[in-house]
Chains A and B, each alone.
Chain A
Amino acid sequence: MKTIAAAAAAAALFVAALPARGFAQVPYDRIVKAESEPASWLTYGGSYKSQRYTSLDQINRQNVGQLRAAWVYQIRAAGVLETSPIVVDGVMYITEPPSTVTALDARTGRPLWSWSPKIPDDVIVIGSPPVNRGVAVLDNMVYAGSIAGHLTALDAKSGAVRWDVVVDDNHLGYYLTLAPLAIDGKIIVGVSGAEAGIRGFVDAYDAKTGKRVWRRHTVAAPGEPGGDTWGGKDSWKTGGGSTWLTGSYDPELKTLYWTTGNPGPDWNGDNRPGDNLYTCSLLALNPDDGSIKWHFQFTPHDTHDWDAVQTVVLFEAAVGGRPRKLVAQANRNGFYYVLDRTNGEFIAGAPFVKQTWADGLDAKGRPKVKPGLEPSEQGVTVFPSISGASNWYSPSYSPKTNLFYQVAREWSTIFYKGEAVYKPGFGFTAGGGRTQNGDDAWAAVRAFEATTGKLKWEFKLLSPGFSSLLSTAGSLVFGGTDEGNFFALDAESGKPLWDTQLGANIRGIPVSFAIEGKQYVAIGAGFALFVYALP
């Protein structure tokens, strides 16, 4: 008897000593403190601040040259892989195009489960390829949007559906490509679809039940604040203002920072005179009810498709000798902006690429727009291009270097204005453009002083792709190119330290995590997810 008890005790001890992985609970408090547990990667941007920075430093400037592939996961169906993996205690959750969610053993890449929503044959995806940029996790659930316009909660252990809601009607062009953001008891999502003439919004859903808690429209209706910025007949009804990228969050200030896209129709603003609030803006939202605390509009009355949805990064720094809580964005319109995130005050702004449309920004950060550069029937050449100086791909901020890292794209477009005819579920863009490509266009990884946008260094890339960046405490910046190079630069100097060829354009968003003390870096390229580590 005594022997059996001793053996049982020994067995229990043995089991406890095994490195159990995965499926742990992710309570809200854990996400708030995500920066303190870099072995996991708990939100789209790595933490609520969206800095896409890891404090892991095992891979560093001295040894990065020894990186080698740990594993590769091939996705199931051809498509554009733009996922930013989530990693929780050794389990990785990715999305595959168009809207599949897959859980992988983060040490080996072996699938644990996979779930695909039903996508109707007549699904309407206007404005982007049918992609998905990742999931959110909270408690014991995984949350994902779909191009069919749904938001679904899956059981983290099995992939079984816990609840599924229609965010909005895909027949009208609403669809989801973004990773949701999980906060205290709520799941926050936005929508794509401005190119189909939707009226954009940010939604909050009860994390446990899927019941919608609030909706904040991003196009002001008549009578609402900002409603008078929509001239023309009923222009607000089809005003666009998509919210198609994941926002950031400040739990102390209890403020959501969510960005908005272009007004509709894109390239013909004739029937929407005015600033078109709150398109091309940053909204500071109260997470309890979705009310707007403050807003900042980057591009009033946009006619060049310069969505402002690019990731907004939260950081703290001294400005004029005073510590400030800041929010920064390298905007698609070619300017880098720094705001006080407590009140939206404009602190600094400067172009980070060649731009020809504005004579700088005024004291409040509003662009001094040059006349005559709106799209026309004959075509008008403007820098930056229709696809922008930046786009959905993530920047990175390192609290170690206080630098903001961004792939900056140098190119122009000849913009055309077309006729604006709204038909539900069809394109409502009214124009288009011909964009420089090949040897005439280029890009660079640029490092700015985060508080000013002043250039510290740059590393030239060949073509303007969609390269997200990851900075690390090992003083590295990881990124990819459209030509398939996965690379690491010195975060302080921009000097290239390591690169390898992944064989297809890199649209995946890099993250880092650790298992049993070993650091990994993951990035999607072509139809596969690649994970690298030291030998």
Chain B
Amino acid sequence: MQLSIPRLLPGVIVAALTVWSTHADAQGGAAAPDIAAGKQLFNGMCVECHGADGAGGDAPSLNRAKLRHAPDDMALVSILTNGIPNTGMPRIRRFTDNEMRQLVAYIRSLGRVAEAKVPGDTVKGAAIYKNLGCASCHIVDGTGGNLGPDLSDIGIMRGTAYLRQAVVDPGATLPKGTLQVPARGYAEYLPLRIVTRQGGEVRGIRVNEDAFTIQVRDQAGKFYSFRRSDLELLEKQTGRSLMPAFANRLSAGDLTDLVAYLASLKGE
């Protein structure tokens, strides 16, 4: 296989969907063995991002009756086959018709289980968000600072376990890039310490890089562009974040409320 960047011809997509339609009668009445087999496939290819039992993680939770990009099974097959452009969802073309049916059956079964209610008080959580000054770095509904990620729909994009971890130890949960910048799979908001050959020092986050240059934004929002050959030191502080860790600054109850608030942010 020549495996290069994902790209499909319309004809291939049509072929894939046509095949699926012949099996569409499986909708709604999936057999238990199909669901079990689908779970095995899911645990192989999907669990890392979508979480155990589809509870969400790096990627949106799937244990919901309504999936934003997949209102019906055909749409779900299309997403699995073709991915979702400009997101972390890759195309997965390895499945046979049978495997695809099993995977869809399992994903749909997740939505038939009552969605676990996120514990905590969202109103209290909103107040904690405000008091901690989160808005100095994060935007919600157009308001806030721009150093950290926009959180307007973070409740859709991330599972609660991920959100909790991100508050407790943000360095462990740097989001993986899904767009062209920096590039797919690269940590976003990666802290850097840079010392130039002239002795100047910059601390900030990586915006982008290539084999010869690196682009940085410091805490004041100022951009820098360096050639690597001009640097004395380029330290990628993997495992760290510019966001403070709130592990010891929040009571267990406050943490639960804050996570409940974040989980309620759905961009609506």
Q: Which residues of B contact A484 (CB under 8 A)?
A: 210
A195 CA / B183 CA spacing, docked (Å)? 28
B199 CB, min distance to chain A CBs, angstroms: 23
Residues of B within 8 A of A307 (CB): 1-2
| A–B complex contacts, Cβ < 8 Å, 10 sampled | A98-B9, A122-B14, A123-B9, A129-B6, A419-B99, A427-B93, A437-B186, A481-B211, A485-B211, A505-B5
Q: Is B19 part of the binding interface, using a Cβ–Cβ cutoff of 8 Å?
A: yes
B15 touches A (CB below 8 Å): yes
> With the chains together, A324 CA to B40 CA distance in Å?
53
Q: How far is the CB of B160 from chain A (nearest CB, A)?
A: 24
Instruction: Report which of A79, A387, A430 forms a contact with B3, defined as CB distance below 8 A.
Output: A387
Does A483 lie within 8 Å of B44, measured CB to CB? no
Contact pick for B1, options A262, A421, A460, A462, CB 8 Å: A262
A505 to B211, CA, bound (A): 12
Contacts of A80 in B (CB 8 A): 4-5, 7
Find A124's partner among B2, B12, B45, B99 (CB 8 Å cutoff): B12
CA distance A322 to B62 in the complex (A): 65
Chain B interface residues (CB < 8 Å from chain A): 1-7, 9-12, 14-15, 19, 40-41, 44-45, 48, 92-99, 176-177, 183-187, 190, 209-213, 229, 236, 238
The residue from A463, A496, A507 contacting B229, defined by CB atoms under 8 A apart: A496
With known contacts A378-B44, A438-B184, A483–B210 Cβ distance under 8 A: yes
How many angstroms from the CA of A26 to the CA of B240 in the assembled complex?
61
Given contacts A438-B187, A439-B236, A482-B183, 17 further A-B contacts (CB under 8 A): A82-B4, A122-B15, A125-B9, A128-B3, A131-B2, A131-B4, A391-B2, A416-B45, A418-B41, A425-B15, A434-B48, A437-B185, A438-B184, A460-B211, A463-B183, A484-B210, A485-B211
A228 to B191, CA, bound (A): 57
The answer to whether B1 and A305 have CB atoms under 8 Å apart is: yes
Q: Check A151 for interface membership: any CB of B closer than 8 A.
A: no
Closest 3 CB pairs of A and B: A438-B185, A432-B94, A437-B185
- Residues on A lying within 8 angstroms of B by beta carbon are 79-80, 82, 98, 120-131, 177, 192, 194-195, 244, 261-262, 266-267, 305, 307, 377-379, 386-387, 391-392, 416, 418-419, 421, 423, 425-427, 429-432, 434, 437-441, 460-463, 466, 481-485, 487, 496, 499, 501, 505, 507
Q: How far is the CB of B184 from chain A (nearest CB, A)?
A: 6
For the complex, would chain A's binding face be called helix, strand, loop or mixed by DSSP majority?
Answer: loop
Chain B residues near A387: list those with CB within 8 A. 3
Task: List the B residue with the shortest CB-CB distance to A445.
Answer: B211
- Bound-complex Cα distance A98 to B8 (A): 12
Q: A125 vs B7: C-alpha distance in the bound complex, in angstroms?
A: 10
Whether B44 and A416, one on each chain, are in contact in the complex, defined by CB atoms closer than 8 angstroms, is yes
Q: Write the nearest CB–CB distance from A500 to chain B, whole angstroms.
A: 9
User: When the two chains form their complex, are residues A426 and B19 in contact, meaning their CB atoms are under 8 A apart?
Assistant: yes
Min CB distance A169 to B, Å, is 15
Chain A residue nearest to B90 (CB atoms) is A434
Instruction: Evaluate contact between A127 and B44: CB separation under 8 angstroms.
Output: no
Give Cα A307–Cα B4 distance, bound, in whole angstroms. Answer: 14
Interface pair A421/B211, CB less than 8 Å apart: no
Q: Give which listed residue, B1, B187, B210, B238, contacts A501 with CB less than 8 A.
A: B210
- From B96, which residue of chain A is reached at the shortest CB distance? A421
Do A499 and B177 form a contact, CB below 8 Å, given A128-B4, A427-B94, A483-B183?
no
What residues of B have a CB within 8 angstroms of the CB of A501 in the complex?
210, 213
A483 contact set on B, CB distance < 8 A: 183, 209-211
Smallest beta-carbon distance B178→chain A, Å: 10
Query: Given contacts A418-B96, A431-B94, A432-B45, is CB(A438)–CB(B2) below 8 Å?
Result: no
The smallest beta-carbon distance between A75 and chain B, in angstroms, is 14
Nearest neighbor of B19 in chain A, beta-carbon distance: A426
Measured CA separation A430–B97 after assembly (Å): 11
Contacts of A430 in B (CB 8 A): 94, 96
Residues in A neighbouring B211, C-beta threshold 8 A: 460-462, 481, 483, 485, 487, 499
- B93, B96, B97, B176: the one contacting A438 at CB < 8 Å is B176
Q: A421 to chain B: closest CB distance in Å? A: 5
Kindly report which residue of chain B lies nearest to residue A125, judged by CB atoms. B9
Contact B44 A377 (CB under 8 A): yes
A55 to B182, CA, bound (A): 38
List the B side residues contacting A463 at CB < 8 Å. 183
The CA of A432 and the CA of B212, in the complex, are separated in Å by 33
Structural contact, A121 and B187, CB atoms closer than 8 A: no
Q: B15–A419 contact, CB under 8 A?
A: no
CA distance A483 to B185 in the complex (A): 13
- Minimum CB–CB distance from B210 to chain A (whole Å) comes to 3
Q: Is the CB of B229 within 8 A of A194?
A: no
Chain A positions within 8 Å of B40 at CB level: 377
**If A432-B45, A463-B183 touch, does A485 touch B212 (CB 8 Å cutoff)?**
yes
Query: How far is B96's CA from A416's CA once the two chains are assembled, in angstroms?
Result: 13
Residues of B within 8 Å of A481, CB to CB, are 210-211
Please tell me if the beta carbons of A129 and B7 are within 8 angstroms of each other in the complex: yes
Distance (Å) between the CB of A137 and the closest chain B CB? 24
CA distance A387 to B12 in the complex (A): 22
Q: Which residues of A contact B176 (CB under 8 A)?
A: 438
Contact status A192-B94, CB under 8 Å: no
Cβ contact within 8 Å between A466 and B99: no
Q: What residue of chain B has the Cβ atom nearest to residue A177's Cβ?
A: B2
